[in-house]
Chains A and B, each alone.
Chain A
Amino acid sequence: MMNYSKGQIIALVALRIVIGWHFLYEGLTKIFQPEWTSGAYLMDSRGFLSGFFIWIASHPSVLSAADFLNEWGLTLVGLSLILGILTRLSTIAGMLLLLFYYLSHPAWIGYEYIFPLESAYFVVDKNIIEMVALLVIWFFPTSRIIGMERLVRRRN
C-alpha cells in the first residue's frame, strides 16, 4: 500500500475516472447503436499489421466477434476504472485495446486515413497518451483508497 499525499490521490483518482469515463461512454454508445461496426475503420488500417486488421474486417463472423469484444471491453474497462474494482485487470485490458487501436492506425508520416486524425501527430497520438496514462494507473493504484476495492479488502 502506497502512501500518497492528498493532492496525489486527487490527481491519480481523477486520472483514473476520466479515462474510465472515456472508455465507458465509448463502449455504451456503441452498444446502444446496434448498427455500429468497426468494419470501415479497420478497412482503413495502415502499417505493418494492416493485413491482419483488414482480414478481421473482411470476415463477417470475425468482425462481429471483434465488435462484441470491443464494445463490451470498453464498457467493462470503463466501469472498472470509475468504480475502482478489478482495476489491475482492466488497466491491462484497456492498454491492450488502445494498443490495437494504435497499431491499426499508426501515426506515421505519409499515412492518411479516411477518418482523419484530429490533430498533427507523429508516432505519439491520443491512444499512446491514454495508454501511458493507464501505465501510470497501473503503477500508482488508488482503488483501495477511493474505490470499491477498499470495501473488498476490508471484507477480507
Chain B
Amino acid sequence: MTSFSRRDIIKGLATLPVVGAVAYGLYRRQKRYRELNRNLMEDLRVELPGEMPTVQGDRLRIGIIGTGSRGRYLLKALGYVQPESIDKWQASAREDPFYREYLQNFLEQEDLNVEIAAVCDVFDTNARKGMLASSNVLQKGSGRQTGKEPVRYRTYQDLCAAPDVDAVIIATPDHLHVPMALEAARNGKHVYCEKPLSWTVAETYAIRDAIRQHDVVFQLGHQGRQTDSYQVARSLIGQDVLGKVTLIEVCTNRNDPNGAWVYEIPKEAGPGNIDWNQFIGPAPWHPFSLERFFRWRCWWDYSTGLSGDLFTHEYDAMNQILDLGIPHSAVASGGIYFFKDGRTVPDVLNMSFEYPDRDLTLLYSATLASEKNRGKVIMGHDGYMDLSETLVINADPQSTRYREKIAQGLIEPNKPIYSYVPGKDKVDAVTSATEKYFAGRGLLYTYRGGKEVDTSHLHLKEWLNCIRRGDGTRPSCHIDAAFEEAMTAHMGTIAFREGRRVYWDTEREVIV
C-alpha cells in the first residue's frame, strides 16, 4: 500500500474543479435552452407527418398517356425505368456518390403493386421509351430479361376504352388534360392528372361534373401535397403562431433555357414520327412545328403560361396550408421581356389575388430570367414564416402575442423562433438548375423517417391507396382542390391577357 503525501493528492487532483466548472457551464446552458424551449413551445403541439400506410389490394393496371420526360418521371415514381437509364445511373454511380444513392433510393422505393398495361404517346420515340420502362419489371439494365410489353395505343380514346386498364395517368400538354381526363372518367377509369387541371375555364366545370358523376378517384399532380414542411406549416398556422396573416408572397425565379421551357428538340423528330393532328387536339390549327411540339409551354395555344404552369405549385401549397379557396378578385401585369423567341406567354408575370373575407392578399411574382430565390413568405402580425428548403418562423418586433417574451429576452425579434428541417440537408444532391429550383421549393424530394422519398411517389401512392380502399376516400389534391387551383390560375391569366381586374362570383361560380 502506497501512501500519498498531501502534496501528491493536491497536485494529482488540482484540476478536478475544472471539470466542475465545465459541468456548471453545461448546466446553465441546458437550463437556458429548456426555459427558452418551454416558453416557445408552450401550448404548441406540432403534428409531424407520419408515414403513409399502404393499402393492400389487387395489382392495379395503369395506362399512361404522355411518356415524355414528366410521364417517364411518374413511371419511375411507380418503379418503372427504361433499362438504358439504369445503365446510365450504374455507370455514373461508379464515379459519383450522388448517382449511387439515386440508384439505391430507386431500388429501395416501395413496390406499389401496379403494372403498366398501356402506353400512349403521339411521338414514337417517347412511346418507345415508355414501353421499355413499363416492361422493365425487374429494374435491370440493358440486355436483361424484361417483362410483358404494355399495349401501345395510338389514341388516348382507345387507351381509355381498354378493358384491361383500371386507372389512367395523364402527363400531356395542358390543352389535352381535360379532354383526356373526361374520356378516362367516362370509361370509369381512375385519373391521376398532371397540373394544371384545365386549359380553359369552360372545361373546368365539365371535368368536375364528370369526376363527381362517374365516381372515380381523381388526383391532381401537385406532389407538393406530400411535402412535410407544408404539413407542419399548416399545423403551426392552425395554432396561430403567426397571428393575423394579411400578406402571402410566392415567387418563381428561374434563369436557364430549360426553366424557360426552351427544351432540346430530338434530332430524329419530324412529321413522320409525330401525330400532329392529335397533338393539336382542341387547339387552334397550326402547320407542323417542332418548336411548338417540344416547347409547347411557350404558346397559349397549348399552355397556361406561368400562371397555370408554375404559379399553381405555389398556390396549391398555400391552399393546402391555409385553405384559401378561389380569390375574390385578381389583377396582373407582366410581359415578354427576355425570351423574345416568338413565344406568346409572358416570361415576367406579377399577379395579385384578393381575399377580403380572409383579410389577405396573395401575391405572385415571377421571372424566367433571374434566379434570385425569394422563397415563400407568409406574413402575420406576430411573425412571418419562410418556407423554402426548411420552414422558419421569425417573430415580428411589433408582435402582440410575443411582446412579453420579447421584453423578457426570451424571443429575439426577426430571429427564427421555430424551424423545421425535413430530414437532412440534401440540396447538393440535385443536379440541374431546374431541379435545384424545385428541390428548394420542396417539390422534388421529401423525407419520411430520415429516408429520402420522392414526393411524386408518395402522391401516386396516396391515389392508389384511395382506389384500393374504394370507400369514397379522396386523395389530398382531389377534384374540388383542383377546381380551385384551375379557376384561380385562370383568373390571373384572364386578368393579364385582358388587362383588367377580374372577379369570382361565388354564387354563380363564374369568373366575371
A residues with CB within 8 A of B = 13, 17, 20-21, 24-25, 28-29, 32, 37, 39-40, 43-44, 51, 54-55, 57-58, 60, 78-79, 82-84, 114, 145-151, 154-155
Contact = CB atoms under 8 A, between A and B. Distances in A.
A29 to B, nearest CB: 7
A82 B18 contact: yes
B428 interface: yes
B497 interface: no
B13 interface: yes
B2 A21 contact: no
B38 interface: no
Interface of B: 2, 4, 8-9, 11-16, 18-19, 21-23, 25-26, 29-30, 97, 101, 424-426, 428-429, 450-451
B11 A21 contact: no
B15 A43 contact: no
A60 B19 contact: no
B457 to A, nearest CB: 19
Given A17-B18, A60-B450, A51 B424 contact: no
Contact of A29 (B11, B29, B428): B29
Contact of A13 (B15, B25, B26, B425): B15
B18 A21 contact: yes
Given A39-B425, A150-B8, A154-B4, A82 B15 contact: yes
28 contacts: A13-B15, A17-B18, A20-B18, A25-B22, A25-B25, A25-B26, A39-B425, A40-B424, A43-B425, A43-B426, A43-B428, A44-B425, A54-B428, A58-B97, A58-B101, A58-B424, A60-B451, A78-B22, A82-B18, A82-B19, A82-B22, A83-B15, A83-B16, A146-B11, A146-B15, A149-B12, A151-B4, A151-B13
Given A146-B14, A155-B2, A79 B97 contact: no
B425 A84 contact: no
A18 to B, nearest CB: 9
A21 to B, nearest CB: 6
Contact of A57 (B2, B11, B30, B424): B424
Q: Which residue, of B2, B14, B15, has the highest number of chain A Cβ atoms within 10 A?
A: B15
A34 to B, nearest CB: 12
B441 to A, nearest CB: 19
Given A29-B26, A43-B426, A60-B450, A145 B11 contact: yes
Given A54-B97, A147-B12, A151-B13, 10 more contacts: A21-B18, A39-B424, A40-B424, A43-B426, A58-B426, A82-B15, A114-B425, A147-B11, A147-B15, A150-B11
A17 B4 CA distance: 24
A32 B27 CA distance: 10
A147 B429 CA distance: 48
A17 B17 CA distance: 11
Contacts of B426: 43, 58
B15 A17 contact: yes
B19 A24 contact: yes
B26 A28 contact: yes
Contacts of A82: 15, 18-19, 22
Contacts of B23: 28
Contacts of B8: 150-151, 154
Contacts of A155: 2
Contacts of A151: 4, 8-9, 12-13
A55 B100 CA distance: 10
Contacts of A37: 424
A39 B29 CA distance: 23
Q: Which residue, of B8, B14, B428, B451, has the highest number of chain A Cβ atoms within 10 A?
A: B14
B18 to A, nearest CB: 5
B59 to A, nearest CB: 31
A28 B426 CA distance: 27
A79 to B, nearest CB: 7
Nearest to A32: B30
A21 B17 CA distance: 11
A100 to B, nearest CB: 18
A114 B9 CA distance: 48
Nearest to A21: B22
Contacts of A24: 19, 22
Contacts of A29: 26, 29
A155 B5 CA distance: 12
A150 B12 CA distance: 5
A80 to B, nearest CB: 11
A155 B38 CA distance: 50
8 smallest CB-CB distances across A and B, nearest first, come from: A151-B12, A150-B12, A40-B425, A39-B424, A82-B18, A28-B26, A24-B22, A155-B2
A59 B100 CA distance: 12
